[in-house]
Structure 1
Amino acid sequence: MLLNLDNEQKTRKLGNWLAKILLPGDLILLSGELGSGKTTFAQGIAEGLRISGYVPSPTFMIVHQYDGAHKLFHIDLYRLSNPAEFTDLAVDEMLEEGIVIIEWPEMASEFLSNHDLKVSIEQNSDTSRIFEFDIRNERLKRKFEKFDPAILLSNAPTN
């Protein structure tokens, strides 16, 4: 599935919609260049999970944990110096407790073949982004089949 979104608000709304169908144990990978919208999308997911407060890029901390409707672990692998460092993060344990979002999964791709959803974000212009979804989880596939892009145009909150 491909979506072309032309502003940050729609990116957040898409993340908010996705949050409603995620469950603990789901592993979401966010791929894209710097500034492509990975963290904005993750912030939308956090909003949809009713996580209060600002959700920054976890670049310097590598892992941020949040409590909301479900526990959320937001991981950024950009600063890993060696893919083997990924095993020290104990992502399997995080998946037992909540939803895991990983930015820059390319840094440890050999450890992430069992993801539920990979979202690749390509910057089309200063404000436009192309989202491509690789959905491997059957439950999520069924939900995405019912997705109506019109919700991204509405001014109503998706909560």
Structure 2
Amino acid sequence: MEFIVDTADSTMMLGRKLGELVHSGDIICITGDLGAGKTHFTKGVAQGLEINEPITSPTFTIVNEYEGRLKLHHFDVYRVCDPDEIEAIGFDEYIFSDAVSIIEWSNFIEELIPREHIWVDIKKVPELGIDIRKISINYYGDRYNYIKELK
């Protein structure tokens, strides 16, 4: 599925729609260039999960935890140099829990991502305008068939 958005708010709105649909234990992988909108999308998912605290990128801590309708584990693995580094923090315990897990820069640890997941790719589309983004959402595994409801 592909969506074209033209503001940070519309990026968050799409994330919120996904956040309203996700289930306990779901894994959302987000990729995109610096400044593409990964954290804005994550903020939207958090809104959909009814999380009321500010969402910040865990660039230096690797993971932040939030409480809402469902618990959220928000990973930013941009600074992870070696997949063993993220395994050392108990990555498997986080993503195989009842919480929703969002992994920004998931392409850096692709070998650790379970087969069943949602993959969100955010690309800048400068030829259409400075703030235009194309957000592609794909899912792998039958548990994510609900993604079809995003349209």
After TM superposition, the score normalised by the length of structure 2 is 0.90
Displacement of 1:119 in angstroms is: 0.2
- Residue 11 (structure 1) aligns with: 11
Distance in 2 (CA, whole Å) between partners of 1:7 and 1:115 is 30
Residue 101 (1) aligns with residue 105 (2): no
Residue 28 of structure 1 is matched in structure 2 by 28
- In the alignment, is residue 127 of structure 1 matched against residue 131 of structure 2? yes
Question: C-alpha distance in 2, partners of 1:17/1:74?
Answer: 17
Q: In the alignment, which of 140, 146, 150 is matched to residue 147 of structure 1?
A: 150
Q: Matched residues in 1 for 2:116 and 2:39: separation?
A: 18
Shift of 1:89: 2.8
Q: Distance in 2 between matches of 1:7 and 1:137?
A: 30
How far 1:115 moved relative to its partner?
4.0
After TM superposition, give the deviation of residue 92 of structure 1 in Å. 2.6
Q: SS at the partner of 2:12?
A: helix
Whether the 8 Å CA contact 1:31–1:105 is kept in 2: the answer is yes
Q: Which runs of 5+ in 2 are unaligned?
A: none
What is the TM-score of this pair, normalised by structure 1? 0.86
Instruction: Tell me which amino acid in the other structure corresponds to 1:79.
Output: R
- Matched length: 147
| Residue aligning to 1:74 | 74
Letter in 1 for 2:90: A
> How far off is 1:19 after superposition?
0.8
Kept in 2, the 8 Å contact 1:15–1:44? The answer is: yes
Judge conservation of contact 1:30–1:120 (CA < 8 Å) in 2: yes
Q: Distance in 2 between matches of 1:79 and 1:105?
A: 11
Indicate the RMSD between aligned Cα atoms, in angstroms.
Answer: 1.4
**Alignment gaps of 5+ in structure 1:** 149-159
2 CA distance for matches of 1:119 and 1:90? Answer: 23
Q: What's 1:44 paired with? A: 44
